Structure 1
Amino acid sequence: MKRLKFGYAIVRSRSLTPCRISVFGRKRSISSCIVTLDRTRAQPASNNFSRKKKVAKAENIIRGRRYAIGCDSTVIKSHENTAAAETKRAFSTITPKLARRKTTVSLLALPQGALSLQPLPELPRPREPQYSYVIAQARENIDRFGDCVVLTRVGGFYELYFEQAEEVGPGLGLKVGRKRGRGQGEGVPMAGFPFFQLDRFLKVLVQDMARHVAIAEEFPNPNKDEKEHASYGLLWERRVARIITPGTLIDEKFMDPWENNYLLCVWPSIDATDSSRTSPSEESGDGEGMENPVGLAWLDLSTGDFFTQSSTRGGLAAELARIGPREIVIDESCRNTPEVSFLSDEKRLLTFHTSTISPLDTASWSPLLESSFGTAAPQTLIKTGGFGEDEISAGSTLLSYVKEKLQGLSMKLQPPIRRDKKNNMLIDAVTMRALEIRATLKDGVVGGIGTLLKTVRRTVTRGGTRRLGSWLTSPETSVRVINDRLNLVEHFIASPILLDDIRYKLKLTHDSQRLVQKMSLGRGDADDLVALARTIISTQDIADCLSLRLPKKKKESLEVFRGLLARIERLEELAGRILRSIDENGLMLRHTLEDREAAEMTALVEAVEAGRMVAEEEGEEGRVEEVEEEPEEEKPKKKGRKKATTKSTAKKVAKPRSQRILKEADREKVEPWIMHPTASPTLTKLHRSLEKLMVEKQVLETQLLDESMLSEHLVALKWTPSSGHILHIKSRSLPDMTEGILATAVSVGSSKSTHSYHLPEWTKLGSRIEMARLAIRAEEQKVLQEIRKQVIMNIHALRRNAAVLDELDIGAGFAVLAKESGWVRPILNMGTEHKIVGGRHATVQRSLDDLGRTFVANDCWVGGEEGMWIITGPNMAGKSTFLRQNALISILAQTGSYVPADHAEIGIIDQIFSRVGSADDLYRSQSTFMVEMMETAYILKNATPRSFVIMDEVGRGTTVDDGFAIAGGVLKYLWEVSGCRVLFATHFHGLVELAQRWEREGGEGRKKVGAYCTDLVEDEKGGWMFVHKLRQGVNKDSHAVKVARMAGLPHLALKTAEDILARGKKKG
């Protein structure tokens, strides 16, 4: 018999399943033990206990009469009687004798071969740590959303836990401490920040770190009224309300208001998908696979814009440059496609997603889109809308991804618009970058100084600026649409008073596209509604202003303005309802109080950080870092001073769970209602009831003053979080508390100079006042929701109005730009000629104007009799500028803007290509020459007779003979095969003679090749200057040594270069 504490016995058995029980002593627990029974033989009993006592002890252990059993009680009960009997038999003094038996086994009967392996018993799982309710919820969310950084709302803070706190916290500049729940040991890693700093840290996580962030908000626990939940502080549960990614921003403050925030889905064609990992940039010379179809779908969740388009693998780079997505979604089934390899090489932010929507199930789109889309059957949409299967698949994956990230948040997007490549000028990625249309070539800043967008931007609204960027990257090819835009600009120029009025009224509008989208997502607040109402009023003022100043001389301009006015829908009734309901003064007061609270919280955080720094210097870092979790219920105040921790001190200031934003001292004086009392009949009645209750309170205060004989400032009826509604008396000497109302007062606390009492009359009256206030708050939210619904009912009209405002803003901005810079209206036609007189580079001219220098204008007559220009001349003489300026003039003209020239007549261009400079691409192991050849190959394969091509120094980077040969081959292909307009700048002077020979040999029916050049003029004293004005002819001297001298090369290097050059000229 094994001896245990208190003499408990253990026996063994083969008949019963072992049961785990916990045995407790009188004062403290002892180790658990396994109690089993052996029906054949028992261990000898100890001499210290009698047989009866041992039997009783064993029975008590099994039956659990005195000890807590830690296993399933049903197992014990099922064997109770048998176990008791076997226990008595086991302790019997008579040992039964068993008969001996002899058994013989045949050798052949034994199993032959290798013995089968028996499965190993399962290892006991390690006991999982026991976390507090808050930390356990955070752990569950982290495990569920493994690819996200989880921010958990705890009172007035957002907190990071476990490994995420250690990984992300330092990058956010947060101090990582440890959080302990009650009964826990060392706790878990934790970092946090105040709730009002959420946008600041989201910007770092989402935009800078490109992380996905899951926001776990507080929701009332459905079991919060149960006593067991309240006792453990389980008043709130934390659920992920939304997942924020770089492409799914809605209304975050760090969003760029001047740029769209597009989320793009790329869907490679299933038939063309293979396991190849070759990117489009590394395809073989014959371009195999470059024409494979690719479906595109992209949306801006902040505005509701939704587009689709069919493209190819070869055109994917150009579409990415035009759209400029913040995030790209790829279906998991397309992970191993060449398109994904290309996107990875482009260093794009990729997210793989398993769609919950069938690729071609357009019926699943309807709940996520505006109602007008849902009226058409999916089959009708595919047939009549021209949507391809690849586009539908991309759209389904995109909507599935967005739906997952919104976590049940309602969403209404605009019906998808299918983009047709034929309707817009195509600008490939290389040209977009080389011409610096949206971003600078040097550092890639969107809209930075030096970009075309920055140069021509005169818009005053955010929506107008976003649309301007879209127009510049996708110019129109329809002459009618372009002329409508130009007519609008022309009328604004001719009517300066109208121009000034429209721009002034546009400045009074707000970003209605994003405001309306917030309403559709159920996120718009009272401030957004007021901004929307002001925009509606300004829109009506703009419409009235246009109606009074319609064009009278030009019929085309009149039709344009009438068309704009017809698209504007009058919504004065909606604006009036909003402004009559919402109390703007109350909103201002509320913002003031919130700003004050935020300032106090910021000051507290700064003070805590300062104290933390001092503690670190004094070697007391652990005292500041340690945070102990408190249950989520209010605790009574303890006497004595206690050093406040970061978390507990901040909570006292923030009061996050209170719906009241006022301090207790101010709460009774001012209540910042956000709705007028007349917003609804119910709200009017509630305010009247509250006014009556406040009168009753004043009567009670007057009665108390009369009975207490104290001055008015010493007696107050107040409310405190800990004591509720109390009578507060500031006086060392108490009044007579035996008569009148004071006789019913019950003391709840006192100090040397103050006394607090529960007064039944005030308790009842205060509760009624509190109920009235809560009823007003609830009715305000009800009215707010009704207004939101009314906005959603008019969402189509609001979006149409916003589109008109954007177009007016762009047109007015173009008019201001044309007047400032002296630009002219271009003439667009369906020909293939460029007739530009006095053309200038928009961006370069602006920079020279700032320096007080003059830009030299040049003409361009390419595409007519001469289909191609070969341009030679010295370095630094303006050849590249001339090439770029004509491309930019073409883009501006087809955007609908006036152009920097004295006269411009341009045939519609379908594509613009450029080869004007590259750099090594070491990431793909490609040299400068290889990059240039790939760009050149792309141009030759895609240029059409309606295209415009600019090429600068093709063939450099190799030997002179090889470079000349390649340049000649490219030139002849463009002249003979493509037949497009070409500006070809080169230092290979022999190309002119070569082209003239081609004309003589077989140039019948083809356009001629023109030769033009810039110059360098020297004076008698050895000085020289560049002549940027083009002249007809060939300049065979590049004057490279003079440019090298300007660059500051050492004298010896220059002298050697001149000697070598002179010897070369002598040899001929």
Structure 2
Amino acid sequence: MAEPQKLTPLMEQYLSIKKQHPDEVLFFRLGDFYEMFFEDAVMVSRLLNLTLTHRADSPMCGVPYHASKVYIARLLRFGKKIAIAEQVGEVSPQGGLTERKVVEIITPGTAVEAEYLEQGVNNFLGALSISHGKAGFAFIDVTTSEFKATSWNASLMHEFFSKELGRCNPKELLLPLSLKENNVIKDTLEQNPSISVSYYPDWHFNSESAYKKLNEQFKTANLNSFGLNEQSPEIAPAGFLLEYLEKTTNTCVPHVKGISVYHDSEYVIIDESSRRNLEIIYNLRDGTTQYTLLDCMNYTLTAMGNRLIRSWLLSPLCDLEKISKRHNHVEILVNDNDLLKELREFLSPVLDIQRLAGRIAMEKAHAKDLQALRVSIQSWLKVRERLASYDLAKLPLDDAKFIADLIFKSIHEDPATSLTEGRIIKRGWSNELDHFYDVQSNFNQILDEYLEEEKAKTGIQNLKIKNTSSSGYVIEVTKGKLGNVPGHFIMRRSLMNADRFTTERLQELEQELNNASSKIVETEKALFLEVRAKLSEYIPYLMELSSEIAYVDVIESFAHAAILNRWTKPVVNNSLNFNIVDGRHPVVEKHLSEGQFVPNSINISAEDNSVSFGLITGPNMAGKSTYLRQNALIALMAQTGSFIPAKSAEIGFVDKIFCRVGASDNLARGESTFLVEMTETALILKSSTNRSLVIMDEVGRGTSTEDGLSIAWAVSEYLLDTIKSRTLFATHYHELTRINHERLILLCMDVKETCGDIIFLRKIKEGAAENSYGIHVAQLAGIPETVIERSKTILEQIQNKAKDNMSVIEHQVVETAKETASSKKEKSTSLDEISSKEFKSPSLFSDEEIILDEILSCDVDNITPMNAMSLISRWKKSLSGR
């Protein structure tokens, strides 16, 4: 960067402003462009693919003023903050430096312009702080006034922080500097790279000043009505959010009237890993909403409904009364297809009333926004008329009718968006404005009327009014009539055949004409601001109206999805049952031809002496993962209030859903696939209750066979004996089928073998799988045929050797049993002796490979207990080297 003494006054001005905004990209107004210099210019030119030029030796790039919103929106998506420096002083004709200052700061979490926002998605700004062992977390969408907060023990940061980030998906996050090196927070933020993160000195998160700020905002003496007191951990981050918003937007946020404090007990807890695995909002493949639960359930027609359905899917309810209410409302529309069709027709024109109200409150709404509000309210009134006999919506409509009527009478049907263009206020609203419009559009008629008045007064019938370039409007009197000219005529010019005059009235009329355009703009602006100020008094009502519209929209979306996909109303109660009859995976089924998806049932319960644990075996590609996920998704859908893809269902409400499936690593943090797997498993074992739904797939596959089997066995026992949760546990460890427990049921994916061909029936049945069919799956995947054939040969050798070994063992066990039948101690000794006999493995394979194949080849349904004990003892000694 050049030395200050070498800079021009303009660059010195730029640097002085930039010094005050080091973390923002400075858009510096120069004529019709916003210019950026130095580091900002280099970065922006790279991000936006702009041409990098130079002013003297300083890097420079710019964007046109009229197209700036497009570029700002792109920078916001990159997580950048933008400071807008405008020319605020008058431009001197003699030249000189024009005063400039920052009039607005736009950040990813504070943007309010429609061009910067994703329609139908909340734009949350979040903040976190820790005090006295408690973490407080708050988030706000300034465009909709949605303001929420929660808290948890700071010792549980790893579990709660990622979960809450996943719940609200903030675009921007504010943190105290003291947390910058917190490993848990660093790790969590690494998993969420799209969030723009800023750190501020800890004094910004002061509870005392924040408490005062919140009371000022809500116009309350205390925050008891919001469930908060001076010591609440939610206070500090919530208060700082309001301060940050006012600082960046350079305006107040009067539409934020309160804060909602929520607790985990209100919603189904879904940790971030489970949320990703279930692909609720975003898929694992490319991070879009395609092939997600949202994608197959979302038929909302309004932006407000779109935001609400996302919120519901991320926070299913635990309140049975609220769940039942939603189900009943969906049922009304499912049973009345004509009503549903009309609601969808009337909802289609409804625009984003929530954000329109926010723009009105922040004094950013233009006339087209008001017309959009009117059209939306009028469409909603049609919806309410059709719902008159139902309890889906109950908000009084007098205010809605007043708002629509006010806008209809005052605002032009097709208004300009700028306050300097005119064409904003409708004729008939203001006599003063109408007069100026009349002067502008009917000036010739006004002159004609005035001329007739002067003719009558003077008796001169050949008077004429002309518009001249030199004198403006004049009255022309012929020479023969000059003797009749009255005293109020003012001489302007004498011509050969006539003289020209003016009058005070004619001058007034001319001045009115000349000033009409500016008067129209001035008057329209004042009138528009009056109308907008009047509407701002109804912001709380408009926010309630928005919530009602969003609710009805989501309910009709659920009903529409239920009809399209043949979903049914579930029973959600206070039991611990989980009984799904012919359940289907909603996403997979949607992308298959009709009738192709194979439904499956499940009936488990965490009630005493009931089967709570389904152990599922079967080959890959047989449908285990689909079956696991579909049951978790059905539970989630039921508790959002939706119908479900099943013939019927009874679900004792779940408090938590855990879904540990698939394998992934985090090499950047030095975490292997197995470590990630164990971390997720640990969270499940520590956090789940007997009311939870636990879905686990392939626990222990990331380590050696012995370690993995041992862990999977122990985890299963812990879930069966200690937690007693409703659990579906899929595994390739066939040894787990030997777990003998009254709460466990063996399930497997059915497979049909015909003439050497394998058909995956994708049907669940009781029992254990007899084969993993790995070679068949490899063949389907396109493994070269020579490798497939060699694999079959090797497998046959292993299986034959295993059969020989089994025959020897069985014979020795029988003989020994006969000899030692009189003594239990002698029997044990004899079994040990039998088990200690070594059987040579083929030199091509290790002991571990042979033993693993023997395990897979065992007929577990027919082997005797004594044979099983002998085999296990021998395998143990063989693997330990004895």
Q: Is the 8 A contact 1:869 1:1010 kept in 2?
A: yes
The answer to whether structure 1 residue 926 and structure 2 residue 671 are counterparts is yes
1:1015 aligned residue (738, 750, 755): 750
The answer to whether structure 1 residue 538 and structure 2 residue 386 are counterparts is no
Tell me what 2:81 maps to: 212
Count of paired positions: 759
Q: Distance in 2 between matches of 1:696 and 1:176?
A: 58
Matches within 5 A, 1:870-889: 870-889=615-634
Shift of 1:893: 0.3
Matches within 5 A, 1:280-319: 293-311=134-152, 312-313=156-157, 314-319=159-164
Tell me what 2:784 maps to: 1050
Counterparts in 2 of 1:149 and 1:762: CA distance versus 1, 3 Å: farther
The answer to whether structure 1 residue 833 and structure 2 residue 577 are counterparts is yes
Q: Secondary structure at the match of 1:898?
A: coil
TM-score by length of 1: 0.67
Q: Is the 8 A contact 2:395 2:548 kept in 1?
A: no
Amino acid across the alignment from 1:858:
N
Amino acid across the alignment from 1:149:
V
Q: Secondary structure at the match of 2:604?
A: coil
Counterparts in 2 of 1:473 and 1:341: CA distance versus 1, 3 Å: same
In the alignment, structure 1 segments of 5+ residues that lack a partner are: 1-124, 180-185, 273-292, 551-557, 595-658, 662-671, 703-714, 728-736, 746-759, 1000-1006
Tell me what 1:1026 maps to: 760
The answer to whether structure 1 residue 404 and structure 2 residue 247 are counterparts is yes
2:41 aligned residue (134, 140, 165): 165
Tell me what 1:413 maps to: 256
Counterparts in 2 of 1:363 and 1:963: CA distance versus 1, 3 Å: closer
Tell me what 2:566 maps to: 822
After alignment, is 877-886 or 568-577 more displaced? Answer: 568-577
Counterparts in 2 of 1:403 and 1:353: CA distance versus 1, 3 Å: farther
Matches within 5 A, 1:112-511: 128-129=5-6, 131-133=8-10, 135-179=11-55, 186=56, 188-207=58-77, 209-221=78-90, 229-232=92-95, 237-268=99-130, 270-272=131-133, 293-311=134-152, 312-313=156-157, 314-346=159-191, 347=193, 348-354=195-201, 356=204, 358-366=206-214, 369=217, 373-378=218-223, 380-381=224-225, 384-385=227-228, 389-408=232-251, 410-445=253-288, 447=289, 449-511=290-352
Counterparts in 2 of 1:836 and 1:1057: CA distance versus 1, 3 Å: same
Shift of 1:1031: 1.2
Deviations, residues 106-154 of structure 1 (Å, cap 9, x unaligned) = xxxxxxxxxxxxxxxxxxx977245345x54433221211111111233
After alignment, is 532-541 or 939-948 more displaced? Answer: 532-541
Shift of 1:877: 0.7
1:677 aligned residue (411, 427, 442): 427
Q: Secondary structure at the match of 2:662?
A: coil
Amino acid across the alignment from 1:857:
P
Q: Distance in 2 between matches of 1:741 and 1:832?
A: 109
Q: Is the 8 A contact 1:568 1:801 kept in 2?
A: no
Shift of 1:926: 1.1
Matches within 5 A, 1:843-922: 843-849=587-593, 854-863=596-605, 865-922=610-667
Amino acid across the alignment from 2:567:
W
Deviations, residues 925-954 of structure 1 (Å, cap 9, x unaligned) = 111111111110110000011000001111
Tell me what 1:53 maps to: none
Shift of 1:489: 0.8
Shift of 1:539: 2.2
Tell me what 1:779 maps to: 523
Q: Distance in 1 between matches of 2:467 and 2:678?
A: 86
Counterparts in 2 of 1:837 and 1:716: CA distance versus 1, 3 Å: farther
Amino acid across the alignment from 1:271:
H
Shift of 1:535: 1.8
Amino acid across the alignment from 1:455:
C
Counterparts in 2 of 1:339 and 1:1018: CA distance versus 1, 3 Å: closer
Q: Distance in 2 between matches of 1:985 and 1:306?
A: 41
Shift of 1:767: 5.0
The answer to whether structure 1 residue 565 and structure 2 residue 394 are counterparts is yes
Deviations, residues 723-758 of structure 1 (Å, cap 9, x unaligned) = 99999xxxxxxxxx972899999xxxxxxxxxxxxx
Q: Distance in 2 between matches of 1:310 and 1:841?
A: 34
Q: Is the 8 A contact 1:874 1:1015 kept in 2?
A: no
Amino acid across the alignment from 2:748:
C
Q: Is the 8 A contact 2:255 2:540 kept in 1?
A: no
Counterparts in 2 of 1:366 and 1:254: CA distance versus 1, 3 Å: closer
Q: Distance in 1 between matches of 2:413 and 2:567?
A: 45
Q: Secondary structure at the match of 1:565?
A: coil
TM-score by length of 2: 0.80
Q: Distance in 2 between matches of 1:977 and 1:199?
A: 58
Q: Distance in 2 between matches of 1:176 and 1:501?
A: 55
Q: Is the 8 A contact 2:424 2:528 kept in 1?
A: no
Q: Distance in 1 between matches of 2:33 and 2:238?
A: 37
Q: Secondary structure at the match of 2:102?
A: strand
Q: Secondary structure at the match of 1:866?
A: coil
After alignment, is 894-903 or 1029-1038 more displaced? Answer: 1029-1038
Report the identity percentage. Answer: 30
Q: Distance in 1 between matches of 2:768 and 2:545?
A: 56
Counterparts in 2 of 1:916 and 1:127: CA distance versus 1, 3 Å: closer
Counterparts in 2 of 1:534 and 1:252: CA distance versus 1, 3 Å: closer
Q: Secondary structure at the match of 2:394?
A: helix
Tell me what 2:409 maps to: 580
Amino acid across the alignment from 1:1039:
Y
Shift of 1:187: 7.4
Amino acid across the alignment from 1:431:
S
Deviations, residues 537-593 of structure 1 (Å, cap 9, x unaligned) = 22222222211xx2xxxxxxx5x43xx2246564212211111111124x2xx47xx
Shift of 1:196: 2.3
Deviations, residues 809-850 of structure 1 (Å, cap 9, x unaligned) = 11111111111111100001011111110000000011112x
Amino acid across the alignment from 1:319:
E
Counterparts in 2 of 1:783 and 1:862: CA distance versus 1, 3 Å: same
Tell me what 2:696 maps to: 951
Deviations, residues 77-104 of structure 1 (Å, cap 9, x unaligned) = xxxxxxxxxxxxxxxxxxxxxxxxxxxx
Amino acid across the alignment from 1:328:
L
2:712 aligned residue (958, 967, 975): 967
The answer to whether structure 1 residue 1036 and structure 2 residue 770 are counterparts is yes
Q: Is the 8 A contact 1:357 1:400 kept in 2?
A: no
Q: Distance in 2 between matches of 1:515 and 1:327?
A: 22
Query: CA RMSD for the aligned pairs?
Result: 3.1
Task: Give the number of the structure whose alpha-carbon radius of gyration is greater.
Answer: 1
Counterparts in 2 of 1:435 and 1:170: CA distance versus 1, 3 Å: closer
Tell me what 1:115 maps to: none
Q: Is the 8 A contact 2:211 2:235 kept in 1?
A: no
Q: Distance in 2 between matches of 1:890 and 1:945?
A: 15
Deviations, residues 19-61 of structure 1 (Å, cap 9, x unaligned) = xxxxxxxxxxxxxxxxxxxxxxxxxxxxxxxxxxxxxxxxxxx
Q: Distance in 1 between matches of 2:727 and 2:275?
A: 18
Q: Secondary structure at the match of 2:128?
A: strand
The answer to whether structure 1 residue 940 and structure 2 residue 685 are counterparts is yes
Q: Secondary structure at the match of 1:860?
A: strand
Counterparts in 2 of 1:660 and 1:888: CA distance versus 1, 3 Å: closer
